[in-house]
Amino acid sequence: MVRKQLDSSEYSRENVERYRKRAARKGIRRGVIASIIIVLVVLSGGTALAISSWINSINARLQNEQVINDELRAVLSEPAAPSDPYYVLLLGTDGREGEVDYRADTIILVRVDPATKHLTMLSIPRDTHIYYKGSEMKINAAHFYDGPAGMITAVQDLTGVSISHYAEVNFDGLADITDALGGVWVDVDMEMYDDQNFHNIVSLEPGYQCLNGEAALFYTRCRNFYDGDYTRMRHQREFIKAIVRQVLNDPDPMMIFNVVDACADMVTTDLSATEIIALASELRGIDVESGIYTAHAPSYAAMLGDISYVFVSQWQLDEMMEIIDRGDDPGSYGEDLEVDTSDTPT
């Protein structure tokens, strides 16, 4: 299928100018970033030239030009002030190296508040029913048609918030990241089994355990549950929390530099190496249990014709986004929520 072009009005001179202003405002954080680089130079015993070369090489690996392009940058929005919270769209994809047309398998909107050391993760089901450019489709199809820029646009339209940054990792990369970390410790909450869609690892027993790359893929991708994708989305959020706990609470100050270096070939993002390190430094020591909120969009599965969709209750999602946007925990709202199904198309 040929990829559609985005409406040219989305990339107007006004939007280009907004991007230029956004890039200029990033200079406000240069003091923090410069301090980090100085610390790195001191700790490594290296020269400024060597550190600069290291950073440039990582940026080249992180910012794949096929993905991080002007179309994507034009739809990203900078927070009003550097200290303000902002949103990141995090995708897990089934793409392979060299492919440009692929779908988003995992969609998580993350609100980052460095000032209070809080993160909020909202899972959006990949089969969510939307209208995109006048066409009816599942939300992950927006990525297939228009790439990351289309995905950002679709999520912004659904949630009503502006997204400032974008990151994606394919699932092969997730396994590599897990192994690069020496495994990730996760409290598996239930017995898991699926020998139809997995081959090397087909089961996990409950309990706190260190998952290697293949086990991490099984834990985050298995859908063999009574509620299908909802438990899978919860496991994905728990896995991200486990990575955050492991990386940002490590006493070794070089840990984050090593992680960024190790993951640069597996993650694609508009964020630079120095911006990632600066953010990690701001969030260092985060209390994962009280400082990370998680939820999923209020939604339910239903058939429309012969196609299975997930339908989001828009007014309930709007209420949840108000909670998220003011920095409160949306989980208490979602736990007792009876999802409104009255607007299901027929």
Pairing of strands 165-170, 86-93: parallel
Per-residue pLDDT of the chain (346 residues; tens, 9 = 90+): 334 444 444 445 555 555 554 554 454 454 455 555 555 555 555 566 777 788 889 999 999 988 999 999 999 998 777 778 999 999 998 755 555 556 788 999 999 998 899 999 999 999 999 999 999 999 999 998 899 999 999 999 999 999 999 999 988 889 999 999 999 999 999 999 999 999 999 999 999 999 999 999 999 999 999 988 999 999 999 999 999 999 998 888 778 888 888 899 899 999 999 899 888 888 988 999 999 999 999 999 999 999 999 999 999 999 999 999 999 999 888 766 778 888 787 6
Task: Supply the pLDDT for residue 302.
Answer: 94
Structure tokens at 223: 């859908």
- For residue 96, give Cα distances in angstroms to 99, 106, 170, 213: 6, 15, 7, 17
Matching residue, tokens 């009816």: 136
d(CA 288, CA 239): 12
Instruction: Provide the 8-state DSSP code for 328.
Output: -
pLDDT score at 83: 78
The residues, any chain, with a CB within 8 Å of residue 99's CB and separated by 6 or more, are none
Give the domain 8-171+268-335 fold.
Answer: Nucleotidyltransferase; domain 5 (3.30.420)
Q: How many CB atoms lie within 10 A of CB 279?
A: 19
Give residues with Cβ within 8 angstroms of 13, minimum separation 6: none
What's the pLDDT at 100?
54
SS3 content of the chain, % helix, strand, coil (to 5): 45, 20, 35
Reading the block at residue 251, the tokens are: 């006493």
DSSP alpha helix (H) spans, the chain: 13-25, 30-44, 48-62, 70-75, 141-159, 171-180, 213-221, 229-248, 255-263, 273-283, 288-291, 314-325, 331-335
Q: Residue 117 in 3-state DSSP?
A: coil
What is the pLDDT at residue 7? 47
What pLDDT is recorded for position 38? 56
DSSP state of 47: -
Domain boundaries, the chain: 8-171+268-335
The phi-psi region of residue 6 (left if phi > 0; otherwise alpha if psi is between -120 and 50; otherwise beta) is beta
Angle, vertex CA 331, rays to CA 303 and CA 213, nearest 5: 75
